[in-house]
């Protein structure tokens, strides 16, 4: 239900400066239903968070959403180029970390420390510059399951847009596109799930 509410707010443009929503496939898939379910499960649990004051952005997961120890890898980070109207792969290397279930995380705490000071775990720090706004697409794996997180940094729209009533052109999605620190516009952009497969798209 929360995902649906966030998606509606995104469409209407009434958003805080930072929003996260997993991007569901807009094209048919031949993967088994069980594989898709596992992929969507992790896409709904891995969150994009950050602090505008410090300019530090990361992918996190709640402790309660980790069942067993698993390996997380940030494979690629893409940025939407407003000028070229294409997604461009950023120069990042693969970053790996471990997801720990709550019990394992508590047992690893140092003596005297609060055993659970933060109910979330940082999976990857994202190389996004301070005061940088825009659309980002982080591709990752949890063990052998591939997924991605659609990330947006910027303001919402000042008023409702007629774009919400328009059908997106084939291969594109509707977004509130940040232009600078104080301004965003409605736009259709290439669906990153398709566009961010190889090379500059």
Residue 45 in tokens: 């649990």
Instruction: Evaluate the CA torsion angle 187, 199, 135, 83 in order and state its sign.
Output: negative
> What is residue 76's three-state secondary structure?
strand
Q: Rounded to an integer, what distance in angstroms lies between the CA atom of residue 81 and that of residue 189?
A: 10
CB-based contact 175:7 (threshold 8 Å): no
Residue in this structure with the two tokens 């059908």, named with its chain if needed: 167
**Do the beta carbons of residue 120 and residue 62 sit within 8 Å?**
yes
Domain range list for the chain: 2-195
Q: Tens of pLDDT along the chain (201 residues)?
A: 333 333 333 333 434 444 444 444 444 445 566 889 999 999 999 999 998 778 899 999 999 999 999 999 999 999 999 999 999 999 878 899 999 998 887 655 566 665 557 899 999 999 999 889 999 999 999 999 999 999 999 998 877 777 667 888 999 999 999 999 999 999 999 999 999 985 444
């992929």: which residue's tokens? 39
């Amino acid at each position: 239900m929360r995902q649906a509410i966030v998606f509606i707010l995104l469409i209407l443009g009434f958003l805080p400066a930072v929003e996260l929503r997993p991007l569901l496939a807009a094209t048919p898939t031949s993967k088994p239903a069980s594989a898709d379910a596992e992929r969507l499960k992790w896409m709904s649990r891995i969150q994009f968070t950050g602090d505008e004051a410090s300019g530090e952005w990361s992918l996190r997961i709640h402790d309660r959403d980790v069942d067993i120890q698993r390996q997380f890898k940030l494979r690629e980070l893409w940025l939407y180029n407003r000028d070229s109207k294409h997604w461009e792969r950023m120069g990042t290397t693969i970053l790996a970390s471990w997801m720990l279930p709550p019990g394992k995380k508590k047992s690893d705490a140092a003596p005297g420390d609060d055993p659970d000071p933060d109910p979330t775990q940082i999976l990857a720090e994202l190389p996004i510059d301070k005061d940088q706004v825009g659309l980002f697409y982080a591709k990752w794996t949890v063990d052998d399951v591939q997924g991605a997180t659609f990330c947006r940094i910027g303001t919402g729209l000042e008023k409702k847009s007629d774009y919400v009533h328009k059908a997106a052109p084939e291969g594109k999605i509707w977004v509130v596109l940040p232009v600078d620190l104080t301004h965003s516009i409605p736009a259709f952009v290439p669906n990153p799930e398709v566009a961010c497969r190889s090379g500059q798209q």
